[in-house]
Amino acid sequence: MKDYQKRAPLPEAMKAYAGSGALAFHTPGHKQGLGAHPLLKERITPEGLREEVSLMTELDDLGHPSMCIKEAQDLAADLYGADAAYFMINGTTGAIHTMLLSVLQPGDTVLVPRNAHRSIMGGLVLCGARPVYIQPEIDVRLGIAMGLTTDAVQAAIAAHPEAKALVAVYPTYYGVASDLKALAALVHAHNMLLLVDEAHGPHLPFSSALPAEAIACGADMAALSTHKLLGSLTQTSMLLVQSLRVDQERVRQTAALLASTSPNYLLLASLDIARLQMAESGSRLMTRAVRLAEGIRQAVNAMDGLWCFGSEYMGRPGAAALDVTKLTVQVSALGLTGAEAEHILRWQYRLQCELADAYNVLFIISMADTMREASILEGALRCFARNYRRPVPLALPTVSLPAAPEVRMTPREAFFAPAETVSFTAGIGRIAAEEITFYPPGIPVLCPGEEITADTVQHIRSMAAVGLKVTGPQDTSLGTIRVVRKGQICTRAN
């Protein structure tokens, strides 16, 4: 570790103020714990409350950092090989909103994978850009979406040479990584930016067994969920930025626009500490996580009725490499759905997975896990596979996707347009004011601003009929749908 990485400027500054002996006649109202309720004291240590301050000269301004926040952000940028890092206290959602709003303007075209997280839809509402959706590859055996292929991106660029940027989700929730280096070369050759939702990749730089991190692949910006896979507190993320094609001052201004003027220093400090922890021992911790995960994977694949794909399954369209610390365990051969398996594992074996879909349960092995957790998980899965096999297997739905409907309004126009609720079939020919997504594969069938067609309605009805979980609409029973009121001005979005 480089010597200068051994520091933690934010906790140092907070400790310096708390230890200065100044009597608090300032915010926050609990006054460094003096007036804190016992329930709050129980949850946050006395030292934590003493340091829960924000506007003192020892500290800094998140909107225009020049002291401890700047130092901490610079250390993070250095560790991740980026020109700049911005600390975020509104999760990766905040990082993604900042990313899109700082480089896109109303009316700009942006290429977006159809399986993008809803924070990207929120960013499009904020910046007013026109999305051109690209369908990612669907792996029918796994029932999940993979990444984007260079062919699909090439075709989108040919149809929309005016696009300003490509948004990529890298890796996916399930750890699947597309060929990001090739995508970077492709979009840069067309003068576009590569903006990466790397929510599931803050740990990638710390093991060579993992896919290369987005910045190393050539991304211009990458939004990292430090809280999801490393040791910072929930709600904290980082936005990494390269200067070659992005105006850092614009990013700073946008980050300041979207963040609170009273950021919580415990949250900020947790980002600094997570960076310190990775600088100190990231490579040892991630090497262990990879080893544990690969051991569990091997054991699971020897269990009758379970399957956990690994690196050998990569090399398919949209799937160049795998974050092996994600264990997607397919349970359908037991005749169970992922949701049923999740319930059994939670209540019979006291294990909580990260998520379940129709076919799979996903387990995350992180830098926190040891042999103990690995062997408990392995043992529980072994018992589960032995004891829970349905004699007559369920007929599981086949995952399919209709073509993306025509975009009649940008997400921003649809967001601000007056809307009304109509019966589901009366929605045909109208413009959707809400999103409809089925799990699996978690790709919106309909997005705000798109024309509802008879085909889309038919597809939605058949997905609902086979029992897939619907998310997004106000009425999840799909009796009604929110549409844009008639008479609104539509500008063709693509």
Does 199 bind ligand PLP (CB under 6 A)? Our answer is yes
Please give the single-letter amino acid code of residue 468.
L
Q: Which two tokens stand for residue 380?
A: 């529980």
Give the rounded distance of the alpha carbon of 248 from its chain centre.
23
Q: Tell me how far the alpha carbon of residue 295 is from its chain's centroid.
A: 26
* Closest distance of CB 112 from ligand PLP, Å: 12
Q: Does 237 bind ligand PLP (CB under 6 A)?
A: yes
Q: Which is nearer to ligand PLP, 173 or 439 (CB)?
A: 173
Query: Minimum distance between the CB of residue 109 and ligand PLP, rounded to whole angstroms?
Result: 21
- CB under 8 Å to 118, separation ≥6 — which residues? 435
Number of amino acids touching ligand PLP (CB under 6 A): 12
252 lines the binding site for ligand PLP (CB under 6 A): no
Give the span between the Cα atoms of 247 and 66, in whole angstroms.
Answer: 18
Residue number, 91 or 318, with CB nearest to ligand PLP: 91
| Residue 80 and residue 278 in contact, taking contact as beta carbons nearer than 8 Å | no
Which CB sits closer to ligand PLP, 156 or 167? 167
Place of tokens 């507190």: 233
CB 281, CB 260: distance < 8 Å? no
Question: Of 225 and 410, which has the nearer Cβ to ligand PLP?
Answer: 225
Question: Nearer Cβ to ligand PLP, position 130 or 200?
Answer: 200
Residue 202 Cα to chain centre, angstroms: 11
Whole-number minimum distance, CB 173 to ligand PLP, in Å? 5
CB of 173 or CB of 265, closer to ligand PLP: 173
Residue 231 in the binding site for ligand PLP (CB under 6 A): no
- Pick between residue 33 and residue 147 the one whose CB is nearest to ligand PLP: 147
Report residue 2: phi and psi, to 5°: -70, 140
Task: Give Dmax over CA atoms of the chain in angstroms.
Answer: 71
> Binding mask 84-123 vs ligand PLP (x if CB under 6 A, - otherwise)?
-------xxx--x--------------------x-x----
State which of residues 169, 217, 289, 460 lies at the interface with ligand PLP (CB under 6 A): 169
Q: Is 126 in the site for ligand PLP (CB under 6 A)?
A: no
Q: In this structure, how many other beta carbons lie within 10 angstroms of the beta carbon of residue 382? A: 16
Whether cis (ω within 30° of 0) applies to the bond prior to 441 is: yes
User: Taking CB under 6 A as the rule, does residue 220 contact ligand PLP?
Assistant: no
Kind of pairing, strands 469-471 and 321-322?
Answer: unpaired
Tokens of 41: 């004291």
Contact residues for ligand PLP (CB under 6 A)? 91-93, 96, 117, 119, 169, 173, 197, 199, 225, 237
